[in-house]
Structure 1
Amino acid sequence: MAKKGMGLLFIRGFKFEQIFQVITALGKVWHIEHFTCANCNLPLGTKNFYERDGEAYCEEDYHKIFAPKCAYCNGPIVDKCVTALDLTWHPDHFFCAQCGRPFGDDGFHEKNGKAYCRQDFLDMFAPRCGGCGHPILDNYISALSRHWHPECFVCRDCHQPFGGRSFFDHEGLPYCETHYHAKRGSLCASCQKPITGRCITAMGKKFHPEHFVCAFCLKQLNKGTFKEQNDKPYCHPCFVKLFG
């Protein structure tokens, strides 16, 4: 800590007059010209000085040698100090590494030895939702090699949640069973339900075998034994009866 020279002592001889100026410091008495900074050797006089291991230092050299250094400017810290990331900083030099703004009430977040404000940290490093693209801050679902907000993990077409049911992957996106088969063209043209087994392809559409029936008598048809009229299939007798 800084200390002051304790004063001057004047001594007068009996037959001759001589004045000696001395300083009392560090528990000793010094000629004023001999009480110097241990580093720069400049006289300290009666100025404030700092003591370290029994030696005196001028204020500038003491801070230069012994004060903690700011991790940003490398200058000595002589007043308030911020300790973070195992380093010391001037308070006004500890700011977001991305935007340069000082940290607010949210504090800071660390990544690779750098400090970031909450917004920049989330923008740069938080996982992005595969649905909305925004940062994920809390619970998430991991699926299709991506992370999702729970409310964003829904069918891409109807936007209905899966609610514990299976989902189907089409080109890296989740779909309910109905819209998955719609994307793949495997919905029955009659009942609009997915076709997961045998199917009949006719009139550019797909049908469950039991749903490919005559539009008039509802008799089940085979692919090669029907007639088409107005985009509807008919058995041969019904076609003749209705259309000649």
Structure 2
Amino acid sequence: MQDLLGLGQGVRPASSTPPPLAQKQSVKKKIQSGSEENQAGSTEPGSTAKASTSGKKTDAIDDLLGGLGSDLEKIGVRTTAKGHCASCGKSIVGKLITALGEVWHPEHFTCTVCKAEFGTRGFFEREGKPYCEKDYHQLFSPRCAYCQGPIMKNILTALEQSWHPEHFFCAHCGGPFGTEGFLEKDGKPYCNKDFYLLFVPKCSGCAEPVRENYLTAANGTWHPECFVCSDCLKPFTDGCFMELEGRPLCSLHFHSRQGMLCGGCGEPITGRCISALDRKFHPEHFVCAFCLQQLRQGVFKEQRGKPYCPACHTKLFV
């Protein structure tokens, strides 16, 4: 009050006669009356009563400043309003804040959401409205695809989503991605090891993941080097194989398992055969064990597991 009155020193008063004291007393009475109203309002419970009390106090201050400005005008001190507050619309006589192209009472320049005064703190602007840092990020910052929290600083973009850098890791093992990068499955990132372990077909020979070249045969997927005969483990040089119970076999071992190897030459029998002595023979290989003549019409004599024609059997054993 004294500072503001001091502004009038050296300024010629508009009237030589000072204003009557009754005028100032009326201002005091008005202030006192406003205080009594505030005290009466403060007896109401809850946040509504507090807001009402705060609003009445603010109105009382504005009335005081208005009355003071009127008194100063009467003694010849010119008071000029610095603008109208963008929040309450009333004239600003004392301190003010200039922001967003407008002027504000300091107590009225607050966060749009939480209503906290900014004071000397910084603020964020969105569509002409001020926000504190917390509310701005909560409302407008991109969300992390892993934790769904707002991303306030560094951001990583992958799989058409945004991530905190520390939250972008393998969806299976939780490990960070190295220089080899990551692979994607159903919108989730995986390290190379887990991706091949979980989703890539396994070789039917060695059971390891098939990453590059492979072939499909015998109802399975194979590394080329693993596709061999299940019995002799030799590759199929002619590209032909036979399957038995889901396993690939060369012709020799397929017929061996089937009992279809010639008892004479040991080679597979693919056509006509003769069954004798608990074995099978090519017809041309079913011969007398002594004279080596083909045994025709199925007539032979057996001695110690070998076939003989009747003549040789009689000559040798009778």
Superposition TM-score, scaled by structure 2 size? 0.69
Does 2:266 match 1:183? no
Letter in 2 for 1:165: G
1:195 Cα offset (Å): 0.6
**CA shift at 1:222, angstroms?**
3.7
Structure-2 separation of matches of 1:127 and 1:39: 54
Q: Secondary structure at the match of 2:145?
A: coil
2:288 to 197, 214, 226: 214
Report whether the alignment pairs 1:97 with 2:171: yes
What residue number does 2:148 align with? 74
Check if 1:23 corresponds to 2:97: yes
Contact preservation (8 Å) 1:96, 1:116: yes
Query: Counterparts of 2:259 and 2:199 in 1: how far apart (Å)?
Result: 39
The structure carrying a bigger helix percent of its residues is: 2
Distance in 1, Cα, partners of 2:4 & 2:145: 55
Point out where structure 1 has 5 or more consecutive residues left out of the alignment: 1-10
CA distance in 1, matches of 2:166, 2:301: 85
Number of matched pairs: 234
The alpha-carbon deviation at position 164 of structure 1 amounts to: 4.0
Runs of 4+ in 1 over 6 A off after TM superposition: 16-19
Residue identity matched to 2:129: E
**Partner residue, 2:108:** 34
2:310 is aligned with 1:236: yes
Partner of 2:104, secondary structure, is strand
CA–CA separation in structure 1 for the residues paired with 2:125 and 2:204: 62
Q: Distance in 1 between matches of 2:312 and 2:95?
A: 134
Instruction: Show the counterpart of 1:7.
Output: none
Report sequence identity in percent: 55
Higher relative contact order, structure no. (Cα contacts within 8 Å, ≥ 6 residues apart): 1
1:32 deviates by 0.8
Return the match for 1:84 from 125, 147, 158: 158
Query: TM (normalized to structure 1)?
Result: 0.90
Q: Which residue of 1 aligns with 2:237?
A: 163
User: Residue by residue, what CA displacement relative to the aligned partner does 1:213-237 show, whole Å, maximum 9, x if unpaired?
Assistant: 1111101114742122222111112
Q: Which amino acid aligns with 2:106?
A: I
RMSD across aligned positions (CA):
2.0
**Contact 1:181–1:194, Cα closer than 8 Å, also in 2:** yes
1:143 to 217, 221, 239: 217
Find 1:130's aligned residue among 183, 204, 208: 204
CA distance in structure 1 between the aligned counterparts of 2:296 and 2:223, rounded to whole angstroms: 47
Supply the distance in 1 between the matched residues of 2:105 and 2:119 (Cα, whole angstroms): 10
Alpha-carbon distance in structure 1 between the residues aligned to 2:4 and 2:105: 16
Q: CA deviation at 1:136?
A: 0.4
* Structure with the largest fraction of strand: 1
Q: Deviations over 1:68-124 (max 9, x none)?
A: 111111111111111122211111111111111122222111111211111111111
- Which letter does structure 1 place at the counterpart of 2:290? F
